[in-house]
Amino acid sequence: MKRKYLIIVHNYWPAFGGAEKLLQSIAENLKKAGENVEVLTSNAKNGEMYFADKPEVVGKEKEIINGVFVQREDIRNIFQKIGKRAWKLIEKRRDRLHNFGPIFLGPHFVKSFLKYIFSKKYTHIICGPFPTSVPFYGYFFKIMHPKTKLIIDPSLHVNDPMHTGRMLQFVARRADSFLVRTKEETLLLNSWGVKSENIFEIGVGIDEKLLENGEKSGKNKTLSISDYILYMGQEVPHKNVLVLLESMKKIWNQGYNTNLLIAGARTSYSRVVDDYIGNIDPDFRKLIFRINDFDESLKRDLIDNCKFLVMPSSRESFGIVFIEAWARKKAVIGARVSGVRYLIDDGKNGLLFKENDSDDLAEKIIYLLENENIAKEIGEEGHDTVLRKYRWGKIMNKILSI
């Protein structure tokens, strides 16, 4: 019997984010494998829009993206407003927020969901990520259709209490299978009572276009610069852009004149980044470049023209940007935190620094600046890691085995 998948995800392209991109890739690769696939999602630009007074929205209510049918529900609905009020009632009680917050957080797509639950049948539900309301919708679908396999892709941040509350653990123990990035997630799920045989460590597949051969342009096409240190990710607090900027100030004070390029989506937190950069010495500030909300087609060019990539994030389930840099044979530096420490083999395919330690990060950056041959070797080892572990063909074989 041909399988029929419903993927329930909080946001979907052109919404930007790691989990969004991952679930989109799974949907499109299932479609390429000949499976029936539909996506149920919201029209939120990002998670900040769930409680925004004037939320920014993306996409159409119904559309086909790369062969996959996508149904979006408007985030500006009554159920999302109720969730927002409920959140406000408990947000000052951190224990209650961590345990019950995900139920209220959203996105809520009750109207569309009811149509799916009563009029359509699926062999598999794939839903995620934590700590959104999405897994609860998947669980409710499972209650109504017990024969449907419930697969949760949580994109867990194991050190974030919002990801590990009691209600999410309750749903986790009732899923048929899990898709996770690293061993770290497996160990956490085991501690909740989820059996290892129901957990599939799939990592994240690389965009094959990033593995294509081709000479770099010589300079970034957008900024006409090259040989910069690259940060590539959303401007949100846990990504620790300010830690990187603090490290760069220390490096510049030592006489290094390397440019820094910050490339990623703007958020409400971007104003904090703006203010911080505005207070940096003008001689250093001229070495900082930013590209916000860039098109995916620029990614290869951004990576090719950098010296190496730095992602100082304190919370990651994986870190897609690391394998994207590896695909272009670039060295990477990441924080020694959950998820990342299982991805980066310190000193072999990347370097790890102590979380939130700008001095340690500065030392790691200087080490690569002064040892270009080692940086090249690290990048090549990272490239080999991608070829061994993170091709979509291998990952889809695991998913299709469920």
Express each pLDDT in 166-202 by its tens digit.
Answer: 999 999 999 999 999 989 999 999 999 999 999 999 9
Of the residues 168, 201, 234, which one is the last residue of a structural domain?
201
Residue 297: its pLDDT value, please? Answer: 82
Give the per-residue pLDDT at 218.
Answer: 54
Per the domain annotation, does 396 fall within a domain? no
The pLDDT tens digits of the residues spanning 59-87 come to 999 999 999 999 999 999 999 999 999 99
Average per-residue pLDDT in the chain? 94
| Burial degree of 402 (CB within 10 A; 0-12, 13-18, 19+) | middle
What is the percentage of the chain residues whose pLDDT exceeds 70? 97
| Per-residue pLDDT at 213 exceeds 90 | no
> Which 8-state DSSP code applies to residue 379?
H
Q: Is residue 90 part of a domain?
A: yes
Same domain? For 172 and 269 the reply is no
The pLDDT of residue 375 is 98
Sign of CA dihedral 131, 128, 184, 166: positive
* pLDDT for position 170: 98
Does 151 share its domain with 64? yes
Asked if 233 and 266 sit in the same domain, the reply is: yes
Q: Above 90 in pLDDT, residue 106?
A: yes
Same structural domain, 257 and 273 = yes
- In a shared domain, residues 155 and 217: no
CA angle in degrees (0–180, nearest 5) for 316-319-321: 145
Secondary structure tally for the chain: helices H, strands E: 16, 14
> Which residues are registered as beta bridge partners of 63?
70
Residue 215 has pLDDT above 90, yes or no: no
Over 90: is that where the pLDDT of 370 sits? Answer: yes
CATH code: domain of residue 385: 3.40.50.2000
pLDDT of 314-336, one tens digit each? 988 788 999 999 999 999 999 99
CA atoms of 380 and 323, how far apart (whole Å):
12
Residues 103 and 29 in one domain: yes
Tokens of 135: 């897994």
Lowest mean pLDDT among 101-115, 141-155, 213-227, 345-359: 213-227
The total domain count for the chain is 2
User: Is the pLDDT confidence value at 359 over 90?
Assistant: yes
Please state the rounded mean pLDDT for residues 213-218: 59
Is 315 inside any structural domain?
A: yes
Residue 25 shares a structural domain with residue 103 = yes
Determine the structural domain holding residue 181 and report its residue range. 4-201
Among candidate residues 156, 180, 201, the one where a domain is terminated: 201
**What is the per-residue pLDDT for 220?**
60
Q: Tell me whether residue 322 is exposed, middle or buried, using C-beta atoms within 10 angstroms of its C-beta: 0 to 12, 13 to 18, 19 or more.
A: buried
| 401 falls within a domain | no
CA separation, residue 95 to residues 100, 101, 154 (Å): 9, 9, 20
For residue 291, pLDDT over 80 is answered with yes
Q: Which of the listed residues 157, 186, 201 is the one where a domain comes to its end? A: 201
Residue among 70, 129, 131 nearest 98 (CA): 131
The residue whose two tokens read 């407003």 is 81
- pLDDT reading at 126 higher than 90: yes
pLDDT over 80 (residue 93): yes
Quick one: which of 171, 226, 181, 174 has its CA closest to 22? 181
Collect all residues with Cβ–Cβ distance below 8 Å to 52 and sequence separation of at least 6: none
Which pLDDT score, from 0 to 100, does residue 84 have? 93
328 phi/psi in degrees, rounded to 5? -100, 15
Are 105 and 25 in a shared domain?
yes
Confidence band (pLDDT; 50, 70, 90) for 265? confident
3-class SS at 164?
coil
Check if the beta carbon of residue 167 is closer than 8 Å to that of residue 131.
no
Tell me, yes or no, whether 42 and 146 share the same domain: yes
Q: Which amino acid is at 59?
A: G
* Reported confidence tier of residue 391, pLDDT bands at 50, 70, 90: very high
Phi-psi region of 203 (alpha: psi -120 to 50; beta: other; left: phi over 0): left
pLDDT of residue 296: 82
Helix locations, 33-93, DSSP H: 78-90
Of the candidates 80, 87, 143, the one whose C-alpha atom is nearest the C-alpha of residue 110 is 80
Q: Please give the pLDDT value at position 212.
A: 84
**Residue 216's pLDDT is what?**
56
| Confidence (pTM) | 0.85
The dihedral through the CA atoms of 105, 107, 109, 113 has a sign that is negative
In a domain, 398, yes or no: no
